[in-house]
Structure 1
Amino acid sequence: MTGPAVVRSGPIRYAEAERFARPRPVRGQDTRPSSGEICPQLPSRLDAVMGPPLDRHPQGEDCLNLTVTTPARDTAARPVLVWFHGGGFSSGAGLLDWYDAGALAAEGDVVVVAVNYRLGALGYLCLDGVAEGNLGLYDQLEALRWVNTHIAGYGGDPADVTVFGQSAGALSIRLLMGLPEARGLFHRAILQSAPLAIATRSRADAAVLGRIFAERLAVHAPGDDSRTAAPEALLAAQRDTALAHRERSGSILEPPFGPVATADDALDAQVRGMDVMYGWNADDMSAFPGETGETGETGEMGEMGKESETGEVSKRGETGENGDPAGPTRRIYAEPLDALGRRLVRAGARVHAYRLDWRPAGSDFGATHCVELPLLLGSRAAWRRSPMLGHTPWDEVDGLGRAMRAAWTGFARTGRPGTVAPPLTCREIPSPRP
């Protein structure tokens, strides 16, 4: 739980949206209390690794809510960190206790905003005449606009905003970095375990999945359409589409609903002068057994993976065979992220890269996907049943977490994570030679 040294406000409604429409800001005269809802969703595929969330929130489509955690609602103009959660664009919520930012805000004297956004078909369906796709991304953009307008009232500085996110949240940040409408809304970025090799899909492929979804919805909600069907029917059709997508792609990692590549990616033009930190966990892919990392991807994100040099590898080996996560982790995370880092430096950004090698005692997962989350956010109570933590005492988790939180808030203040020590390593990506 949030400690006495901070104030946690929310849930706060930052925007509203009709089903399959872009979000619009809440009107200034709207004084309705927030619904406290999170986006309708199925259980996470990572429950076996993280454990299911122990807190429960109502699910519904009035879900564009956020929380603000601050040391004080004063005029101190503190650095602001905006959190975009992961969950494969299909599960999770910024309101979850996992993402309580009490320790991060208090120790770093920063303001932390945690954001809900639309997920699954509600957030990323592409279907002619129904949904354009990328609505969850536009929700995140609207949340950043809310921060720009309102965060000074919570002790934050709207001119000093760092976005940070994990997995799908980190992929979202990469896309926001290239979205012209997001220019000036954030100034630093931290990408945690972003699987860039599967970041986006073509609009044509998304349209195929949209048609599969519509066909399955007709089975689960005869007589209804995408706009009138109950959320339970949408989720049932979403589950069927995920199974069909797995058969088509052969991938257990790639979600059926996620961002569509945009033609107006302005990354190189927008990152000059920006501070960016990216990284991964040494055994990220242990959370996805059976996934080889051989995606056969195309497009800009995939090409970055293909052109990259050999990245750092896990101490567990290099082949990815016999359940070893090292090879897939290198292909899905390390190589594409390092290629992005070089591109950002060439475009004029200041870039740092990190790797986390922490393998909790008693865990079968090692330095797996999501293992950094309890080091940054949440509490003993929120994470007490998490399989990925094994039987590691919370005092050890919190001790390592204090060091990692200091690196993250240091980066938010200065653009540099400062001195770090194993199991966290960090390096600056050098500028290209003239």
Structure 2
Amino acid sequence: MTMEAEDKQLASPDQAADAGFQHAPADAPTVDVETPLGTLRGSIEGDLMRFRGIRYAHADRFEPPHPVEAWSGVRDALGDGPMCPQPRFAMTLLALPKRIPPMDEDCFYVNVTRPAAESDSPRPVMVWIHGGAYVNGSGSGEIYDPSRLVRDGDVIVVGFNYRLGVFGFLPIDGVAQANLGLLDQLTALEWVKQNIASFGGDPDNVTLFGQSAGADSIAHLLSIVEADEYYHRVILQSAPLGLNVGRETLAPELSERFLAELKADPKTASVHDMTQAQVAAMKGLTGDLLTKGMPYAPTPGVWPVPATSDVAGLLERRAGAVEAIIGYNRDDFSPFLEDVHALHIARSSAVLRPLTQPLNYGFTRRAFGGPALKLAELLERGGAQVYTYRLDWRPAKTQWGACHCLELPFFWADEEFWRGSPMLGGTAWADLDRFGSVLRRLWAGFARTGRAKDISNPNFSLKKLASQPTKL
């Protein structure tokens, strides 16, 4: 790495510093990194080194991704790349409204954040796969600022964008293959494998971690042979594994409804019309109640995703070479109950809310807890070292309890971003961050060694599966 490498000829930047919402301060010192593909210019921001908006692939609409080719000169990595086009995020209890980052179908970008200080040995690498029901989200931006995790854990954190919704997960006969979004993920992970050593990371110590659809993605990657070389450990947070019932039959129905709503050629339709039809196609679907609540997702039996009948064997095959943390939040399903108007009314009442708790716990067990434990047990039988956890922390002044996404403030962004978050109910930031520090160091320690200490307290429990029963 070289500071202010002015002697190098500057190439046209692949991603302009101001093209994304987040970018390096204008007065930040720059640093150049020589990668196998070419030279990247990042920024030094206090005690952190950041490389934003690094292209990892190219792809036209509905085409498989092609890894980026080598270049000459220096490419700026000073601004986030755009996220995949998507409808407005509907889970308003997460945080107060934020500015929306730029969107583009050309969303194949990765971010790398590391401590600015050099290390005597390569650092562990933690690759984040974002959630959002496969229709929302981004691997960068304000919400997934990894500063606290990088500092507390002395690790390198990587986040990437991939295609979502109709652009990444809708099979259309003769037009679009299923699971393009997962192919994007594989291509991003290949980039990490080949390039992360240039940033001081250890390509032989990579942990995948993700939440919600990101954790669901990791569950799929565990059964994909082509992904084996790209990771060594996994952390699955609130994976909605119970929402994958009957997806083989749902996919063609969703495709038919999408085409009927679009009324245009999907190869040339505008992004606006595509996303409008994406949302409209979700209404009136038949099949499993929970599955049709997250209709855009990987389709089993279409490469690279194996058929459902083959998954257990493939997971057991992989198990002996990985360590895993798998868990969920005690009230994961509570926000989704409020999609039903009558339940929204009931849960807004302190008197009536207890009557809805059996539904909350039942759906949480079916969508999150039960399948998480089943996966953990299957991996443990196959020889993996597995830890399971449950987050029970409930903010005092909310109706949602230990709800879906509640753990995100413990790992990501800062006090300013989370100020006023409805799901936090006015919790004092100092108290939240004190607990968050424990979790960040726990996750980073696991990424470093594959080991974790058992924890048991009223807010959070983590147990090694082979030695302790896990509560649902």
Q: TM-score band, normalised by the shorter chain?
A: 0.7 to 0.9
Q: Does 1:208 align with 2:248?
A: no
Runs of 4+ residues deviating >3 angstroms: 30-35, 72-76, 199-204, 247-253, 319-324
Distance in 2 of aligned mates of 1:65 and 1:186: 19
Give the aligned length: 399
- For structure 2, the residue ranges without an aligned partner over 5 or more in a row are 1-21, 23-43, 301-305, 341-353
One-letter amino acid of the counterpart of residue 343, structure 1: L
Task: Summarize the alignment of residues 246-257 of structure 1 with structure 2, pairs less than 5 Å apart.
Answer: 249-251=288-290, 254-257=293-296
Residues 393 and 3 from structure 1, CA distance in 2 versus in 1: closer, same or farther, beyond 3 angstroms?
farther
Distance in 2 of aligned mates of 1:44 and 1:257: 15
Partner of residue 32, structure 2? none
Q: Provide, for residues 9-57 of structure 1, a one-character-per-residue CA deviation record: whole Å limited to 9, x for no partner.
A: 102111121111111111112766677210000112212x203562431
Contact kept in structure 1, 2:57 and 2:109, CA below 8 Å: yes
Question: Pick from 219, 225, 228: which aligns with 2:265?
Answer: 225
Contact kept in structure 2, 1:95 and 1:116, CA below 8 Å: yes
* Helix, strand or coil at the partner of 1:244: coil
Q: Does 1:269 align with 2:317?
A: yes
Contact kept in structure 1, 2:96 and 2:422, CA below 8 Å: no
One-letter amino acid of the counterpart of residue 466, structure 2: P
Distance in 2 of aligned mates of 1:200 and 1:141: 24
Contact kept in structure 2, 1:345 and 1:431, CA below 8 Å: no
Partner of residue 70, structure 1? 114
- TM-score, reference length from structure 1: 0.86
Q: Does 1:167 align with 2:207?
A: no
- For structure 1, the residue ranges without an aligned partner over 5 or more in a row are 219-223, 293-318
Q: Does 1:9 align with 2:9?
A: no
* Helix, strand or coil at the partner of 1:157: strand
Distance in 1 of aligned mates of 2:235 and 2:276: 34
Partner of residue 337, structure 1? 372
Distance in 1 of aligned mates of 2:412 and 2:207: 16
Distance in 2 of aligned mates of 1:32 and 1:170: 32
Partner of residue 87, structure 1? 132
Query: What percent of counterpart residues are identical?
Result: 40
One-letter amino acid of the counterpart of residue 229, structure 1: A
Partner of residue 440, structure 2? 405
Residues 87 and 253 from structure 1, CA distance in 2 versus in 1: closer, same or farther, beyond 3 angstroms?
farther
Q: Does 1:260 align with 2:299?
A: yes
Task: Summarize the alignment of residues 233-312 of structure 1 with structure 2, pairs less than 5 Å apart.
Answer: 233-245=273-285, 249-251=288-290, 254-261=293-300, 262-263=306-307, 265=311, 266-289=314-337
Q: Does 1:56 align with 2:100?
A: yes
- Cα distance, 1:122 vs structure 2: 0.5
In our comparison, the structure showing a higher alpha carbon Rg is: 2
Q: 26-35 or 345-354, which moves further after superposition?
A: 26-35
Contact kept in structure 2, 1:403 and 1:420, CA below 8 Å: no
Contact kept in structure 1, 2:250 and 2:295, CA below 8 Å: no
Q: Does 1:388 align with 2:392?
A: no
Residues 249 and 178 from structure 1, CA distance in 2 versus in 1: closer, same or farther, beyond 3 angstroms?
closer
One-letter amino acid of the counterpart of residue 282, structure 1: R
Residues 200 and 136 from structure 1, CA distance in 2 versus in 1: closer, same or farther, beyond 3 angstroms?
farther
Task: Summarize the alignment of residues 363-382 of structure 1 with structure 2, pairs less than 5 Å apart.
Answer: 363-382=398-417
Residues 113 and 190 from structure 1, CA distance in 2 versus in 1: closer, same or farther, beyond 3 angstroms?
same
Q: Does 1:41 align with 2:86?
A: yes
- RMSD over aligned CA atoms reads 2.4
- Cα distance, 1:327 vs structure 2: 1.8
Distance in 2 of aligned mates of 1:52 and 1:41: 19
Q: Does 1:359 align with 2:431?
A: no
